[in-house]
Structure 1
Amino acid sequence: MSLLWLFPAGFIALAALLLPLLIHLARRSEQRIIDFAALRWLSAKPRPRRRIRFDEWPLLLLRLLLLGLLAMLLARPALTGVADTQARVAVLPSLDVAAAQAAVAATDAQWLWLAPGFPRIDKNSAPTPSQPIASLLRELDASLPADAPLTVVVPTVLDGLDAQRVQLSRSMRWQVIEQAPATNAATVPPAPRLQIRHDAVGAQGLRYLNALASAWNTAKPDTAGDDTAFTDTQALHVWLSAKPLPASVRAERRSGNTLLVDARTPVPADAQRTPLWRDAAGTLVLEQISSAQGQWLRWAAPLQASTLPVLLEADFPAQLRAIVQPPSMPRRALAAGMQPQAGAAAYPQAATELSHWLLLAIALLFLLERWLASAPRRRGQP
């Protein structure tokens, strides 16, 4: 454990120590001359004072000490390496506190909610979970002292997980309490609708896209010529034309909507081309075009079975849907298999500031100084 100063420039305030010295020199006790009749005609010859004298030494020292503590308060003293071995028990807000306390025998531990800010547990006010449990565990690990034991109480099934197990800087106890998981309906989004704009050559590929809509179990595609604007912002837009993309279509690309364009559609000169899909023979099927005009997907060949044999394969609808509508990452798992691992780098521990103790000492010294400064003997009272 060592002492450090978070703001050493605060010691400049020590220059204020001169003020009590000057005040006590200016207001030292006055010597009054009393005339005696027998000595009236003698010439007074006062002896000059050759040294500086301070009156009220206890009050002067108290004021100097008070100013010194104020300077220390400005310099913000703090202690590093303070040992804190109090156990912490973090409970997920969805759990019953009584069940958690029955499962974890830690009467002297500090009980916290595994929620933003990690508030103390109050049986009557459980916070609402608003942050993934993985990030909360990392944040809690970073905020606790390195020597503090940690126990985390979780239900049988966890939501809000990352793609990998959490890694912390400490070993911890992972207590699982049996609790029926909340029944959440499957949130698989429906397949996107198709809205197609084409020219005469592009119309030859409509039969493949109609079959694709049937395989996706969606409505028949909305088809029109390439002089008709796209109107359905929720649909998958397909541009089967040799014309450049209209300005309105390019504007939609910047907002993130998915667009499939024909192999004959001109590619911007600054475009970056990224292969996305190759068939079993290694032939390019679909590529991603990224440029200042936006981002879209482009067929590598015209929509004909002769140029794109993958159109006739049975898994073509599933593979295309996986590209235009990627499945969401699973975020639910059994808690028994998701216990955090130790081995992460330890976080630097924050210093413990002593400001509150200094404020208390300053307040007490100030009251003592006021009492001494206003004592009866200073007012000339008996």
Structure 2
Amino acid sequence: MSLVWLFPAGLAALAALLLPVLIHLARRDEQRLIDFAALRWLSARPRPRRRIRFDDWPLLLVRLLLLALLAVLLARPALQGVEDDAPRVAVAPGVDIAAARGATGSGDARWLWLAPGFPAVDAGAAPPHMQPLASLLRELDATLPAGAPLTVVVPSVLDGLDAQLPRLSRAVRWQVVAAAPPAAAATAAPPPRLHIRHDPAGATALPWLRAVGQAWNAATPADIGGDEQPFADDAGVRVWLSARPVPPAVQAWARAGGRLLVDARTPLPADTQRLPVWHDDSGAPVIEQVAGGGGGWLRWAAPLQPATLPVLLDAGFPQHLRDVLQAPPAPTRALAAAMAPGRGAAAWPQPGYEPVPWLAAGIALLFLLERWLASARRRRGRP
């Protein structure tokens, strides 16, 4: 265990220790010389000695100590190496506490909810079921000391997962308790809207794309205009059916994360590479991913006509095109037995313990003692 100062400049306030000393020197009891008649005619005159003398040593010491503690509080002392290694049991919302206690048998551990803020289990009602489980596990692992054992109690089916298995800095006891899974919330995203800009040759593909828009959402028709007309809406998918180059503003929008689908006749930069992302039943490419041009460019591999793209006649064409343009959300539900956290993440440094409550209590007690000693001095008739 070591002591560190988080704000060492606060120790400069120790210079204020001179104030009580100067005040006590300036306000010490005065001594008056009284001439006695029997000694008046003596020729010898004693020379008075001048020396530094303090009155009320207890009051002076209390004031000095009070100022010293204030300076220490400003400097923010912290103790490194003071770690609470008590075992913790984190319970996922939705798990019955009685069943969790019976399954773990950790009566002397600290029980907390696997929820934002990690409230104590005995503090109140259980949090709601939907919680970002994976990120909360990583946060809890980062806040606990390296030597604190951790047990996680989860239901048999987990929600709130992300794309990867959690990796923590410690070995975790993963306890699965049978529980009814909560109702899954609807996560389907609304279908995207098509914003189409075309030249005269590209207008021949409009009937097929209008049909796709009707299949997706009949209440929201596609936004269609000539290639000289700028795109007016940043939402949805932009479709460029023109032999002209893609405007720079549209390229910048695609680099910023927008979804852009260009015609097979659209010129591409010389350094681009094309990777097929959709093949028809015969293996011919339908849509290609354009790499090197920046952003999320997609490109039709052939003109949008049944003679060159027979997949246009398939009944599943609208749904397959939507899956390419709008990837379905990643699953967030899985069996808990297969989601036990791995080990290998770096341990997070723990902050030092700041004894602020103890310093504040000491300052308050010394202030009360100083007031009591000062009032006692006045009761004795001293300034």
Bin for the TM-score computed over the shorter chain: 0.7 to 0.9
Displacement, 1:287?
3.5
Displacement, 1:255?
8.7
Displacement, 1:353?
0.9
- Structure 1 residues 53 and 130, CA gap change in structure 2 (3 angstroms): farther
What SS class does the counterpart of residue 71 from structure 2 fall into? helix
Q: Deviations over 1:62-118 (max 9, x none)?
A: 322222222222221111111422222222233333443343333332222211111
Report the identity percentage.
Answer: 62
Q: Distance in 1 between matches of 2:218 and 2:81?
A: 67
Q: Distance in 1 between matches of 2:73 and 2:233?
A: 65
> What does residue 364 of structure 2 align with?
363
TM-score scaled to structure 2, two decimals?
0.79
Q: Distance in 2 between matches of 1:240 and 1:273?
A: 19
- Structure 1 residues 71 and 228, CA gap change in structure 2 (3 angstroms): closer
Displacement, 1:35?
4.4
> What does residue 28 of structure 1 align with?
28
- Structure 1 residues 337 and 319, CA gap change in structure 2 (3 angstroms): same
| CA RMSD, 1 decimal | 4.1
Asked if the contact 1:285/1:308 (under 8 Å) is kept, the reply is no
| Structure 1 residue runs without a partner (length 5+) | none
- Structure 1 residues 237 and 51, CA gap change in structure 2 (3 angstroms): closer
Asked if the contact 1:273/1:287 (under 8 Å) is kept, the reply is no
- Structure 1 residues 134 and 377, CA gap change in structure 2 (3 angstroms): same
For residues 84-163 of structure 1, the aligned pairs below 5 Å read 84-122=84-122, 124-128=124-128, 131-163=131-163
For residues 216-227 of structure 1, the aligned pairs below 5 Å read 226=226
- Structure 1 residues 223 and 83, CA gap change in structure 2 (3 angstroms): closer
Displacement, 1:129?
5.9
Displacement, 1:372?
2.3
Q: Does 1:323 align with 2:314?
A: no
- Range that drifts further, 271-280 or 316-325: 271-280
Displacement, 1:177?
1.9
Letter in 2 for 1:110: R
What SS class does the counterpart of residue 34 from structure 1 fall into? coil
- Range that drifts further, 30-39 or 232-241: 232-241
Displacement, 1:17?
1.7
Displacement, 1:142?
0.8
Q: Distance in 2 between matches of 1:146 and 1:295?
A: 43
Displacement, 1:324?
0.7
Displacement, 1:288?
3.6
- Structure 1 residues 44 and 313, CA gap change in structure 2 (3 angstroms): farther
Asked if the contact 1:275/1:284 (under 8 Å) is kept, the reply is no
> What does residue 355 of structure 2 align with?
354
> What does residue 275 of structure 1 align with?
274
> What does residue 52 of structure 2 align with?
52
Q: Deviations over 1:21-47 (max 9, x none)?
A: 212221222113334444455578352
Letter in 1 for 2:274: P
Letter in 1 for 2:372: W
Displacement, 1:331?
0.9
Letter in 1 for 2:298: L
- Structure 1 residues 185 and 70, CA gap change in structure 2 (3 angstroms): closer
> What does residue 338 of structure 1 align with?
339
- Range that drifts further, 37-46 or 5-14: 37-46
Displacement, 1:301?
3.4
Q: Distance in 2 between matches of 1:125 and 1:11?
A: 45
Q: Does 1:76 align with 2:76?
A: yes
Q: Distance in 1 between matches of 2:40 and 2:107?
A: 86
- Structure 1 residues 190 and 139, CA gap change in structure 2 (3 angstroms): closer
Asked if the contact 1:191/1:217 (under 8 Å) is kept, the reply is yes
Q: Deviations over 1:129-160 (max 9, x none)?
A: 67511111111111111222222222121111
Letter in 2 for 1:127: P
Displacement, 1:239?
4.0
Q: Distance in 2 between matches of 1:186 and 1:369?
A: 66
Aligned pair count reads 377
- Structure 1 residues 188 and 356, CA gap change in structure 2 (3 angstroms): closer
For residues 169-208 of structure 1, the aligned pairs below 5 Å read 169-184=169-184, 187-189=187-189, 198-205=198-205
> What does residue 286 of structure 1 align with?
288
| Structure 2 residue runs without a partner (length 5+) | none
Q: Distance in 1 between matches of 2:42 and 2:16?
A: 46
Displacement, 1:199?
4.8
TM-score scaled to structure 1, two decimals?
0.79
> What does residue 301 of structure 1 align with?
302
